[in-house]
Structure 1
Amino acid sequence: MRLIIAEKPSLARAIADALPGQVSREEGSLRVGDTRVSWCLGHLLEQAAPDAYDPRYKQWRLDHLPIVPEQWKLTPRHNARGQLKVLRTLLKQAKSVVHAGDPDREGQLLVQEVIDYLGWRGSVARLLISDLNRPAVQRALERMEDNRSYQALYHAAEARSRADWLYGINLSRAWTLTGRQAGHDGVLSVGRVQTPVLGLVARRDREIADFVPRPFYVLWADFQVEHGTVRAWWQPDDRHPLDDQNRLLKREPAEALASRLPGTLGRVATLDAQKKRQAAPLPYSLSALQVDAARRYKLSAKGVLDACQALYERHRLITYPRSDCRYLPQDHWAQARRTLEGACAGDETLSRWLGSADFSLRSKAWNDKQVGAHHALAPTGARPDFARLSASEANVFRLIVRNVLAQFYPPLETREVKVDFEALEERFRAQGREILVPGWKPLFTTRDDAPPLPSLRQGEPARVADQAVEDRMTRPPEPFTDASLIKAMMNIARYVEDVAVRRTLRETDGLGTEATRAGIIETLLDRGFIVRQGSALRATRTGQALIAALPDAATRPERTALWEQRLSAIAEGSDQAAPFLDALLGDLRTLLAGADTARMRQALASAKGFEAPARAKARKAGRRGTKGTAAKRRTTKRTPGKNKEEA
């Protein structure tokens, strides 16, 4: 018997349907001829709790730390024993085994760790599926590989799992116990990724709270030229009081100049006109899709991921969604017309866009060199039944189709103009843009932020027709939203102060991964460290206090993002897991030395101002207003030793 182990039941069903023969269901598996297809339910195993290594670790004590297992142990997750029993029985009967986890780091880990845990010693084939439609699954079944080729990916995932355990268990215990000594009743969980993300939110909220608005002033003038009127803005030089963004800090110079401007004859001093071509945005990675869907449809990162999973697993309308790639394989180009014809069927807007697509075009999106374990999100070509899709699923699907469809539109061509007017020996600046060829642009928006300027000539006279001074105020930074927080995690180098580290991080995938970013936000919400206020994500008093009490290095993204870089190197075979974990332990001991009750007490006191509005907003949103969620939170406080709260 051949045994194929899939990551989830939906994938197992797709594999069984693609095999030749009649499918029959048996306990925990599907039979097709001499093949049995079974499944995991996500992770069936998890890292064992500390007391599995030593019973004394059941009690939380600072003098136990750091807890470092000599021989790592896995234990079945809650409700996983039944499926593990099925897999154990099937493995005893099997003559060959196929690993059919998702094509990513975690997919490699969760199936292989079960195979190893249950004692299989034979060879294992690797089945990689990114599209659940039958023809795609059949093609994947014809080109299976040796699972040994993916051991580097497995070692990276295993190192990630152990690193998260070491970091989460030890630091969560240390700061929970320190918090208890400082009067805080509850678990203060610390995570290798979640805490730096919380740090981003908490620091942004502090910037907003500490922001002092300052007035500044602008002067505009309308210049009458041969072919129309142009509004331009005064560019004061350093003879005047300016801030670091060249904003005028006193009104008097602007008023003085404005009083002299009426009827003044000036001229076009400089004119810079350039034609530009801009290719269509690439197809989506998951994070890029989460950013756009949050901005356009106000969907949370988790909401976008859930919609993608449904479109992939239930409806089979899109390819594997947890992808960090924005490119497509070159051989997909030849099938694109047929694929998009199926995807656009039944939708008026998509069908209209399809009718104007030029399938002879080949954008830079089709590039095998840029495609790794998975490619960009794309439609499978299955015809959608929009009546069966939720509003979120339909909106997300249309975005995915649109970005692939845009690859068959010509570039956007524009003429961009920058002009400086000179009047009374002062400079006034304007800019505009004329769309020459709209190309792909109408698929995304009909609005243009920079309207065109009238025809201008270098040196032509320009008379001031109107002018005014406007009073303005500096504004605080915007609070994070799902879109901006995901984007910050993708581009974490922007939030790094060390120049050398920032340069390194520009080459990495940022903080967290495509598969985990939405979950990180939800974890922070569930643990009461952040709340939603409308579309904004704000730190609670507890979240603020935790960030203030931790060593600065534990709250910033540098170390975690560099660890993610090393995990990627392990996955590529250019680094090893052991040195990575050794370095982590050194960092861990340094961080544990920073646990301080006095600092925690001070942090809790300084964060009081964030308590009332955050809780009120949370109750209003209903996030933690239900009895079930509140009860769960109270249970967490009574039982701080639960492994899930430590990690």
Structure 2
Amino acid sequence: MRLIIAEKPSLARAIAEALPAGVPGQDGALMAGDSVVTWCLGHLLEQAPPDAYDPSHKAWRLDTLPILPDRWKLVPRAKARAQLAVIRGLLKRADTVVHAGDPDREGQLLVQEVIEHLGWQGPVARLLVSDLNAPAVKRALSRLEDNARYAPLYRAAQARARADWLYGINLTRAWTLVGRQAGHDGVLSVGRVQTPVLGLVVRRDAEIRDFEPRPFFVLWADLVVARGRLRAWWVPGEGHSLDDQGRLLERAPAEALGGRLAGAEGRLARLETRDRRQAAPLPYSLSALQVDAARRHGLSAKAVLDICQRLYERHQLITYPRSDCRYLPEEHWAGARRTLEGACGEDATLRGWLAGADFAKRSKAWNDKKVGAHHALAPTGKRADLSRLSRQEADVFRLITRNVLAQFYPPLSTREVKAEFAIAGEVFRARGQEVLEAGWKPLFTTRDEAPPLPPLTEGEPCRVEEAGVEDRETRPPEPFTDASLIKAMMNIARYVEDPAIRRTLRDSDGLGTEATRAGILETLLERGYLAREGKALRATRLGDALIASLPEAVGRPERTALWEQRLSAIAEDGDAPAPFLDALVEDLRGLLGHADAERMRRALAGARGVEVPSRGRKAGGKARRQSAGRRTGGKTSPGGARRKRGSSS
């Protein structure tokens, strides 16, 4: 018997349906000829708790840190024991095993750790499926590879999991214990991803809090030209008091010039026009969808993830949602009309968009070279009855379908115009944009664009009809929201100064993964480190104090980049994991040396975040009532919440 072990039930079903002889099933497996297809449920195993290595580690004590396992152990997750037993029984009957985890680092780990944990010694083949479409799965089944080829990928994922355990367990215990000494009787969770995310919010809040508005002044002039009117803005030159962005810091020069502009004549000294064609936004990855759904519908990142899971599992209307890819397999293009006709159903909005689609067009969204473990979110083609969905489910489904439909619309074509006028010896500028062809744009907004400039000819005369001075102030940055924080996690390189590290972060997936970002935000909220103020996410006093008490490097994203460099070298160049883990242990020893009760006491006293809301207060109250010294620290991941695949919070 050939046993195929898939990463998840949906992949197992797709594999079984691509095999001959149908799919009569049994509990935990699907039969297909001489093959049996079974599955994992995310991670069936997790890192053993500290007391599994030494019972004395059940008590949290500073003098036992760092905890460094000599021989790493995995234990079954509580809800996975039944499925693990199914796989164990099937392995006893198997002649060969096929590893069908996702074709990425975490997918390699997830299935292989089960195969090794259950003691399988026979041959293992590797099945790489990136598209659940039946023809694509059949092709993948026809070109199985030797799983040994992917050993470096497995070693890299295993090293990441162990490093996260070392980092989270040791720092969480250390800061919890010094927190107790400083008067905070609760768990202070520290993680490689969650803590830098908290650091982003703490630093943004400090920027807002410490911001000092500065006044500046602008002078406008309404001009009459040959074929219409427009508003232009004075560009003050050298000799005036300007800030680093060229803004005028004194009102008097603007008033003086404005007083002599009425009726003044000038000419259009310089005219620039540029035609631009902009392709439609690509289909969504999960994070990109979370950003848009937060902006358009006010949905939290977790709400979007939960909605997508329902659309995928319960309603079967969309493809696998936890994807970091924004491209689709090339073979999907031929069936796109049928898929989208089913997706649009009888919904008036979607049918209206469908009517404008030209299915002869082929955008850059269909690109096999850009498709990795998963492809972009897309409708499955199942007939959609949006009246049976909740309002929020329908909103999210429309967004997903719209972005695929938009690939069959023409580009947005615009003409950008920049005009520079010479009046009274000074320079005035105006800008405008004319839409030449709306293309895909009406699917995304119904707002009217700013009016274009009237037709202009370089050298033509102009006359000032009216002028005025406006008093303005510089503004602080906006507080983070679900949308902007998810976007910051996706594009974390923007928050790093070192060019080499910035390049690494641009090449990696940023902070967290598609599967974990929403969970990281919810974890920070549940633990009372963040709080919602309307749509804004603000650091609480506890979150502010935690970042202030930690070494600066722990609350910044650079460590993620450095880890990714080392893990990529393990996965791609075959480097040994041991030097990476040895370096981490040395780093940990240095960080643990900064665990100081007095520093924590000052941080708690000086914290300036917002008050913990009732939700966070409830969680924090429970933590405060439990003595940190009595917590096992091992039944959960470092910091308390169980983690799904790929999490390093």
8 Å CA contact 1:345, 1:384 repeated in 2: yes
1:404 CA displacement: 1.9
1:504-519 correspondence to structure 2 within 5 Å: 504-519=504-519
Q: Secondary structure at the match of 2:352?
A: helix
Distance in 2 separating the partners of 1:123 and 1:241:
76
Distance, in Å, in 2 between the alignment partners of 1:277 and 1:28 is 52
d(CA) in 2 for partners of 1:251 and 1:165?
59
For residue 74 of structure 1, what is the amino acid of its counterpart? L
| Distance of 2:272 and 2:626 partners within structure 1 | 63
Contact preservation (8 Å) 2:317, 2:381: yes
CA distance in 1, matches of 2:359, 2:132: 25
CA distance in 2 between partners of 1:498 and 1:237 (Å): 34
- In the aligned structure 2, how far is the partner of 1:383 from the partner of 1:38? 29
Structure 1 326/24 Cα, relative in aligned 2: closer, same or farther at 3 Å? Answer: closer
Q: Using the alignment, how far apart are the partners of 1:114 and 1:555 within structure 2?
A: 34
- Measured in 1, the distance between the counterparts of 2:444 and 2:627 equals 48
Partner letter of residue 7 of structure 1? E
2:638 maps to what in 1?
A: 646
Greater RCO, CA 8 A, separation 6+:
2
Partners of 2:361 and 2:534 in 1: CA distance: 42
Aligned pairs (5 A) from 1:227-246: 227-246=227-246
Instruction: Give the match for residue 611 of structure 2.
Output: 614
Q: Which amino acid aligns with 1:522?
A: E
Q: 1:201-600 maps to which residues of 2 (within 5 A)?
A: 201-447=201-447, 449-573=449-573, 575-600=575-600
How many pairs are equivalent?
A: 637
> How far does the alpha carbon of each residue in 1:328-350 deviate from its partner, in whole angstroms, 9 at most, with x for none?
23222223223222222332222
In 2, Cα distance between the equivalents of 1:596 and 1:215? 43
Question: Normalising to structure 2: TM-score of the pair?
Answer: 0.91
Give, in whole Å, the separation in 2 of the partners of 1:237 and 1:86. 77
Please give the residue correspondences for 1:75-114 in structure 2 after superposition, counting only pairs within 5 Å. Answer: 75-114=75-114
Unmatched runs of 5 consecutive residues or more in structure 1: none
Deviations along 1:182-223, one digit per CA (max 9) or x if unpaired, are 221111111011111110001001111111222222211101
CA contact (8 A) 2:51 2:632 kept: no
1:275 is paired with a residue of what secondary structure?
Answer: strand
Distance 1:586 1:449 in 2: 57
Distance 1:100 1:309, change over 3 A: farther
Distance change in 2, residues 1:596/1:98 (3 Å): same
Does residue 164 of structure 1 match 2:164? yes
Q: Out of 374-383 and 477-486, give the one that drifted further.
A: 374-383
Q: What is the deviation of 1:11? A: 4.5
Counterpart Cα distance in 2 of 1:441 and 1:39: 42
Cα deviation, residue 633, structure 1: 4.3
Q: Would the alpha carbon gap of residues 146 and 389 (structure 1) be closer, same or farther in structure 2, given more than 3 Å must change?
A: farther
How much has 1:134 moved relative to structure 2?
Answer: 6.1
1:408 Cα offset (Å)? 1.7
> Residue 496 of structure 1: CA displacement?
0.8
Question: For 1:543-579, what per-residue CA distance to the aligned partner results, in whole angstroms no more than 9, with x for missing partners?
Answer: 1011111111111111212313443444445544333
- AA aligned opposite 1:170: N
Measured after TM superposition, the shift of residue 130 of structure 1 is 5.0
Could you tell me how far 1:481 is from its partner in structure 2? 0.8
Distance 2:355 2:140 in 1: 32
Task: Please give the secondary structure, in 2, of the residue aligned with 1:506.
Answer: helix
Deviation at 1:535, TM superposition (A): 1.3
CA contact (8 A) 2:224 2:463 kept: yes
Instruction: Report the equivalent of 2:58.
Output: 58
Alpha-carbon separation, structure 1, partners of 2:504 and 2:78: 40
The CA distance in 2 between the partners of 1:134 and 1:360, in whole Å, is 24
Which stretch shows the higher mean deviation, 355-364 or 443-452? 443-452
Task: Judge conservation of contact 1:286–1:324 (CA < 8 Å) in 2.
Answer: yes
User: 96-105 vs 480-489, which deviates more?
Assistant: 96-105
**Equivalents in 2 of 1:389, 1:157: separation in Å?**
38
SS of 1:220's partner is: strand
Distance in 2 separating the partners of 1:296 and 1:320: 22
> Structure 1's 37 and 501: CA in aligned 2 closer, same or farther, altered over 3 A?
closer
Q: C-alpha offsets along residues 409-454 of structure 1, whole Å, 9 cap, x if unaligned?
A: 2211111001112222122211010011111111212335543100
TM-fit CA distance, 1:174: 1.5
> After superposition, what is the alpha-carbon deviation per residue over 1:619-642, rounded to whole angstroms, capped at 9, x for unaligned?
3xxx447x7x57754566655432
- Per-residue deviation at 1:476? 1.3
Shift of 1:47: 0.6
Residue by residue over 1:468-506, the C-alpha shift from the partner in whole angstroms, topping out at 9 and shown as x without a partner, is 111222211111111111111111111112233224433
Q: Which deviates further from its counterpart, 31-40 or 539-548?
A: 31-40
1:158-180, Cα deviation, whole Å (9 max, x unpaired):
11111100110111111112212
155-164 or 563-572, which deviates more:
563-572
Cα shift readout 1:132-162 (whole Å, capped 9, x = no counterpart): 5666656655555443343333222211111
* Alpha-carbon shift at residue 304 of structure 1 (Å): 1.9
Q: Secondary structure at the match of 2:334?
A: helix
CA shift in 2, pair 1:505/1:5, >3 Å: closer
Whether contact under 8 Å (2:493, 2:510) holds in the other structure is yes
Secondary structure, aligned partner of 1:646: coil
Shift of 1:111: 2.2
CA contact (8 A) 1:512 1:561 kept: no
CA contact 1:187–1:640 (8 Å) conserved in 2:
no
3-state DSSP class of the match of 1:268?
A: strand
Residues 578 and 317 of structure 1: CA distance in aligned 2, closer, same or farther (over 3 Å)? farther
Which stretch has the larger CA shift, 570-579 or 245-254? 570-579
- For structure 2, the residue ranges without an aligned partner over 5 or more in a row are 640-649
The answer to whether the 8 A contact 2:186-2:620 is kept is no
What SS does the aligned partner of 2:531 have? strand
> Residue 562 of structure 1 aligns to which amino acid in structure 2?
L
Deviates more, 1:430-439 or 1:94-103: 94-103
Query: Which residue of the partner structure matches residue 189 of structure 1?
Result: 189
> Is the Cα contact below 8 Å between 2:279 and 2:411 reproduced in 1?
yes
> How many angstroms apart in 1 are the aligned matches of 2:120 and 2:325?
33
**Normalising by the residue count of structure 1, what TM-score does the alignment of the two structures yield?**
0.92
SS of the residue corresponding to residue 238 of structure 2 reads coil
Letter of the aligned partner of 1:489 in structure 2? M
Bigger mean CA deviation after superposition, 335-344 or 66-75: 335-344
Instruction: Give the residue type in structure 1 aligned to 2:347.
Output: D
Does the aligned pair in 2 maintain the 1:300–1:482 contact within 8 Å? yes
Aligned counterparts of 2:368 and 2:562: Cα–Cα separation in 1: 27
The structure-2 alpha-carbon separation of the partners of 1:95 and 1:26, relative to structure 1 and needing over 3 Å to count, comes to same
Aligned partners of 1:141, 1:504: CA distance in 2, in Å? Answer: 34
Q: Could you say what secondary structure the match of 2:507 adopts?
A: coil
Whole-angstrom CA distance in 2 between matches of 1:560 and 1:325: 21
Cα distance between partner residues in 2 of 1:412 and 1:361:
14
Alpha-carbon spacing, 1:645–1:205, altered in 2? closer, same or farther (3 Å): farther
Q: Which is worse superposed, 504-513 or 525-534?
A: 504-513
Q: Which moved more, 1:535-544 or 1:502-511?
A: 502-511
Q: Cα offset for 1:524?
A: 1.1
Which residues of 2 match residues 10-89 of structure 1 at below 5 A? 10-13=10-13, 15-16=15-16, 20=20, 26-31=26-31, 35-89=35-89
Report the CA distance between 1:540 and its aligned residue: 0.8
1:538·1:614 contact (CA, 8 Å) conserved in 2? no
